[in-house]
Every structure is written in C-alpha cells, then in structure tokens.
Amino acid sequence: MTDHSAFTYVCQNAQQAALLHSSADALEWDERTNMPVSAGDYRADQVSYLRGLAHQRRTEQKYRDYLEELFQKIDPVKEQDHTSITIMQLHRDLQRDIKLSTALVERSAKLTVKGQQVWDTARKNNCFDHFKSILSEIVSLKREIGDRLREETERTRYEALIDEYEPEATVKQIDELFSQLRRPLVALIKEVQASGNRPKRELFQQALPVSIQRQLSRDVAVAIGFDFNRGRLDETSHPFCTTLGPHDCRILTRYDPQDLGTGLFGTMHEAGHGMYEQGLNTEAFGLPAGSYCSLGIHESQSRMWENQVGRSQSFWKWITPKLKDLFPDQYAQATAEELYFAANDVYPSLIRVEADEATYNLHIIIRYDIEKKLIEGSLDVNEVQDEWNARYHADLGVEVDHERNGVLQDVHWSAGLFGYFPTYTIGNLIAAQLFYSAQETIPALDQKISEGSFDELLQWTRDTVHQHGRSLNSEQIVQKSTGMLLSPEYLVQYLREKLESLYEL
C-alpha cells in the first residue's frame, strides 16, 4: 500500500466515523426538540450504539497501523503541509481514543443521555436530590475516563478531560488567566454598583409576545449571516448549536415572554457558533481541516456576536428602529441610547446564561473550581450544592432561592461535560482580543455595524479563524489573527471602557 492510498484509507475511515457521530448528533437534536416523552430509553440505546460503532471505527487495527506508519514518516522539523497536519491531528485523536474501550464509550454515551433526561426532570421539579444519584455515577465514570486518558501524559485527571474541549490547555494556565481576570472584574463590578447609576431595566423586562420575538431573532440571525439554507433555528429549554452535516447546522434558542435579552442574545450567541460551523471547509467534514479548533475558539465566535456586536452602541443604533416596528407598544418612546444601556445592565445574579458580560466570568470561575475538585476527588457530589450556594454568596453576593436557579441550572454535568466550563471564559477572552483586531483591520467597523452591514466582520472571522479548522491550534489562531498571545487585558479594557462611559465611573 502506498502512502497515498494509506492516507485515503485513513481519511475515509475518519469520515465514516463522522457519518456515525453526526447521525447520533441528529438523534440527540431530535431528543431535545421533538422526541415523545416515553422514547428516552431506546434513544439512549441508539445513540450509544452509534457512538460505540464510531469508536470501533476510529480504533480499528488497520486504521491504527496505517496511521502509525504515516505518522512515523513525518519529518517534525520540516514545515507541515495539509496532509501531515491531518495525519498529526488524527494521530493525536487516536492516542485518546485507544485509551478508552468501546464498551466504556457506549456506557458513557448511554449514561449521559439518561443523565440529561434525569436532569431535565429534576430541574423542572426543582429537586437536586432527584439528580444526585445519576450525577454520582457520571462523576465516577468521568474520573475513570480521566484516569485512563491521563496515562502516559503529564496531565492531571481533570486536565485530561479539559483536553477534549481545549486541546493542550493546562490547569496552571487557566488558573493564571482566571486570577488575572478576576481581580479587575470584581473591582469593576464594585465600581458599577457604587456608581448608583442604572439603566431602565424595564425596557428589557416587560411583556413581549414570543411570536414577535421569534421573528426578531430570525431577522437578526439572517442579518448577521447565519445561512438558513444550511441550517435551522429552533427552540429548546437549554440553547445549543449542533452540526448534523457539512450543510446542516442547527441552532436552538429559547424565549422569555417577559424578557427581550433571553431570546435575542441567545440567538446571536448560537448564530455565532453556527456561522463558525458554516464557515468550516465542507469538503473536509469529519477531518481535522473541516472541524472546529477548540471550544474556546468556538465560544469566541458566539460571544463576539452576542457581546462585542450585540451589546454595542452601534448595534443598538441599527436595531432600535426595527424594535419600534415590531413592538410599537413597547418601544415607541425608547431611544437607542437607553436600549444600549439596558443591554448592558450589570448586576450580580443567579443565572449564568442570562448574566451580563462582567459578572458572567465569575459564574464560570465558580463552576470551574467546583468541577475541578469534583473530578480530582476533593469534593463529593453531596457537598456540591452547599459549595455552590456558598460560592454564589461569597463571589457574587447573591442567595440561591431555588435549586433550578442554582446547582440545577446547567445541563453540562448531566451530559458528562466536565472540563467544558472554562472554555466559556477562554472564549470571552479570545472574543475581546479578536474583536480588537477586527476593529483595527476593518475600516469604520462600528459605523458599518450601525448600518446593519455585518459581512466584512463575518468575512474577517472566516479568513482568520473559520477556514483553518483544526489545522492551526487555538494559540496559533489567536497569535496569527491578533499578533499577540492570549491575554485577559483586552476583555478587561473593553469592559472598562464601555462601563465607565455608560455608568459614568
């Protein structure tokens, strides 16, 4: 077998695994949008069977042999071409995959599909006790998986889990970034609170018919560039974005009939994820060049559209007349400035996904600290709720009123996504840094946003981020597109400038 045909075989195998994973993703999308209530058990069987087959495919002996052979021939000193980058990335994945048995992958898939079902009920019933037992099982399983994945590496158990979402990230780096961020954020939030100034919160929090909010969200998603010929926008209890094929990206949002921000910012956030997926190389679907780089990079794309664009003064210049058209009763008297201020209503609260940009990262730091301890074994599932409530009291100064507004608010742990939360704040840091560069590069970007012209910004992200897929790593993407290493100072400065002006600090 020639190198060429070995490479073809390897790619075909990876793309067949992607056929299986994307089919399982479609079943999971369906589960969270359409599936009848009694169908959960069999759905878990289907998903775990497909994920198990994908794992078999990605670890079969012939594939391993070819990939190893191709990998050994790469000259690490030479500059790498497309083929060798693909081989290196697939080889990297293989080193993870072979540490897990197919049985373990199936068990994990089944347990986490069930976990989400139990969490959903527990959240509806506002009862953490109902969720505890399966959460314990999930934590045990993830500890076991972490232990396997860390073998032959320098990583801790939790780091080995993070690696799936943010390749190469270390706890040391994250701890450092987070502590550099935390101090100035806390100071800034205190200043805002001390200022005594407040936006008209009632502009966002008032009766707004969901049918019209739905229209607004769709219009905004189209305007910023989400392609509905290659995607959909639906509703669910916990918004997300999933990709079922190279031309099939599904974003999901939710609406609060008493709040403008939930649906609007939720949609912009998911559309940001969606546009990243739609900007990947479709020919390489299922291969590293056609896959997202890391969850931090992914989140940077969602947060940039949600925050740097969606909570900007320019954006509110553009959208205010549209709001007045759609909701004449509610917004006839409102000004763009008032709405812009209301979109940046900074105050400590209980719910992460509805938090403002400044306090948001404090929510993440709490989760990061808790899950790190949970996985490393210094915290027990029975202690999670007390720890959660105590940290919200200490860090944000708020008291958890209901379990669904506290420890039950996020789907992640029920889905086994330990190591995922820190990527949200990493994404926020990257978003601020990228947007700073975009403003430097694109002439009169703010002006263009205020005119509803978003295409140059989208194209800039296509060029600097999307087109690379996993061919560059997160660090390389940040450095190439911003000329700098990742630093918290862009986010801090961006927030300080905005809030100083809005709150007259």
* Residue 321, both tokens: 């007349």
Distances (CA, A) of 170 to 183, 189, 229, 465: 21, 28, 39, 22
Q: Is 283 in the site for a copy of itself (CB under 8 A)?
A: no
Nearest to 391 by CA among 345, 428, 350, 346: 350
Q: Looking at 177-185, 246-254, 344-352, 462-470, which segment touches a copy of itself (CB under 8 A)?
A: 246-254
Nearer to a copy of itself, 16 or 493 (CB): 16
Nearer to a copy of itself, 155 or 250 (CB): 250
Asked if 131 and 118 touch (Cβ cutoff 8 Å), the reply is: yes
Q: Taking CB under 8 A as the rule, which mask of x and - marks residues 77-96 in contact with a copy of itself?
A: --------------------
What is the identity of the amino acid at 254?
R
Nearer to a copy of itself, 52 or 199 (CB): 52
Pick from 178, 255, 285, 413 the residue near a copy of itself by CB under 8 A.
285
Q: Taking CB under 8 A as the rule, which mask of x and - marks residues 33-52 in contact with a copy of itself?
A: -xxxxxx-xxx-xx--xx--
Size of the site for a copy of itself (CB under 8 A): 34
Cross-strand bridge partners of residue 232:
250
* Residue 305, both tokens: 């559209």
Q: Which of 270, 299, 357, 371 is catalytic?
A: 270
Asked if 333 and 320 touch (Cβ cutoff 8 Å), the reply is: no
- Report, in Å, the least distance between residue 41 CB and a copy of itself: 8
Q: Look-up: residue for tokens 């109902």?
A: 130
State yes or no: is 270 an active-site residue: yes
Pick from 6, 10, 14, 20 the residue near a copy of itself by CB under 8 A.
20
Taking residue 1's Cβ as centre, other Cβ atoms within 10 Å add up to 12
Pick from 16, 195, 206, 453 the residue near a copy of itself by CB under 8 A.
16
* Residue 243, both tokens: 């990709």
- Report, in Å, the least distance between residue 69 CB and a copy of itself: 26
Note the helical H segments in 98-168: 102-124, 129-150, 157-165
- Report, in Å, the least distance between residue 239 CB and a copy of itself: 17
Note the helical H segments in 377-418: 381-391
Nearer to a copy of itself, 36 or 76 (CB): 36
Q: Is 210 in the site for a copy of itself (CB under 8 A)?
A: no
Angle of the 3-33 helix axis to the 40-59 helix axis, nearest 10? 170
Asked if 97 and 51 touch (Cβ cutoff 8 Å), the reply is: no
- Report, in Å, the least distance between residue 260 CB and a copy of itself: 26
Taking residue 484's Cβ as centre, other Cβ atoms within 10 Å add up to 13
Pick from 200, 247, 393, 402 the residue near a copy of itself by CB under 8 A.
247
Q: Which of residues 321-360 bind a copy of itself (CB under 8 A)?
A: none
- Report, in Å, the least distance between residue 322 CB and a copy of itself: 25
Distances (CA, A) of 350 to 130, 208, 400: 21, 22, 7
Q: Which of residues 222-241 bind a copy of itself (CB under 8 A)?
A: 228-232
Give the three-state DSSP class for 289: helix
Cross-strand bridge partners of residue 241:
251
- Report, in Å, the least distance between residue 31 CB and a copy of itself: 10
Per CB under 8 A, residues contacting a copy of itself are 16, 19-20, 22-24, 26-27, 30, 34-39, 41-43, 45-46, 49-50, 53, 228-232, 244-248, 285
* Residues that are catalytic: 270
